[in-house]
Amino acid sequence: MCQVTDEAPAVPEPVFRDDVTVELVRSSAQDADVLFAARVSTAGEQSIEELDKDPARSRGLINYLMRDRHGTPFEHNSMTFLVTAPIFVFREFHRHRSGWSYNEESGRYRELQPVFYVPGAERKLVQKGRPGKYEFFEGTPEQQKATTAAMESSYRQSYDAYQAMLAEGVAREVARAVLPVGLFSSMYATCNARSLMHFLSLRTKDDRAKVPSFPQREIEMVAEQLEAHWAALMPLTHAAFNEHGRVAP
């Protein structure tokens, strides 16, 4: 038998995370898509049968397209990712406008869950230098302790304020204003290999890059997972991207 009580539903305990996750939800993306698109001007649709016949020629064509920045053959593919990361990462992510589609979870239609970002021990905490030339260094144990304590306390306080407003009947879309950018969100992000390469060129730090970039570590953590999924789907294209300085064609 079901018991009816007047008790308010329990407020969930905050969860503190130091990671981000990227799941490949669906894809239609392979090296053959690049070759298929590139050869339309010479062999047309017949070329799809030729793709696997001559791997060295296929590799050569992908390298040539990458080197000479013939970008459009890299657009005929699609990857959809489920990304779970703090809101401050999404703010940076959503600046990538070309070749990306996004759908993020709603804070208007759903009560937001208390999952918050706290940097892990390996996250360098101290920044030195000037804008564009920052270097990051390990924090001391005291700095790590102070960071964790300040973040957890601030997160608890803001989530309590959010819950207090909801309990008073305030709309979710209003109450959410007190929640910080360290709150986790999730989104579907769909791109193609060309738009992903542009993203990776800006959001990873890599010695092979012709044009170095200095991204915030947390978006780089997302980028590394995106890259691993993509490399498994399109190994020849990924290798050519690295060989030609990690510049989007």
Ligand X SMILES: Cc1cc2nc3c(=O)[nH]c(=O)nc-3n(C[C@H](O)[C@H](O)[C@H](O)COP(=O)(O)OP(=O)(O)OC[C@H]3O[C@@H](n4cnc5c(N)ncnc54)[C@H](O)[C@@H]3O)c2cc1C
- Pick out the residues of the known binding site for dUMP: 92-95, 104-108, 176, 203
Report if residue 180 touches ligand X, rule: CB under 6 A: no
If the CB atoms of residues 139 and 215 are measured against ligand X, the closer one turns out to be 215
Distance of closest approach, residue 42 Cβ to ligand X, in angstroms: 28
DSSP string, 170-236: --HHHHGGG--TTBEEEEEEEE-HHHHHHHHHHH---TT-SS-----HHHHHHHHHHHHHHHHH-HH
If the CB atoms of residues 111 and 224 are measured against ligand X, the closer one turns out to be 224
Q: Are strands 115-117 and 15-17 parallel, antiparallel or unpaired?
A: parallel
Residue numbering of the annotated binding site for FAD: 72, 95-97, 104, 192-194, 198
List the interface residues with ligand X, window 194-223 (CB under 6 A): 198, 202, 213-215
If the CB atoms of residues 112 and 221 are measured against ligand X, the closer one turns out to be 221
The residues annotated as belonging to the active site are: 203
Report if residue 136 touches ligand X, rule: CB under 6 A: no
If the CB atoms of residues 84 and 192 are measured against ligand X, the closer one turns out to be 192
Q: 67, 96, 156, 244: which one contacts ligand X (CB under 6 A)?
A: 96
How would you label 189-215 residue by residue, b for 16+ Cβ within 10 Å and e otherwise? bbbbbbbbbbbbbbbbebeebeeeeeb
Helices (H), the chain: 31-38, 55-67, 87-93, 141-167, 172-175, 193-203, 217-233, 235-243
Phi/psi for 102 (5° steps) reads -130, 145
Q: 69, 95, 145, 217: which one contacts ligand X (CB under 6 A)?
A: 95
Report if residue 71 touches ligand X, rule: CB under 6 A: no
Residue numbering of the annotated binding site: 72, 92-97, 104-108, 176, 192-194, 198, 203
Residue nearest to ligand X (CB): 97
Report the SS3 class of residue 36: helix
How far is the C-alpha of 135 from the C-alpha of 230, rounded, in Å? 29
Chain residues in the site for ligand X (CB under 6 A): 95-98, 198, 202, 213-215
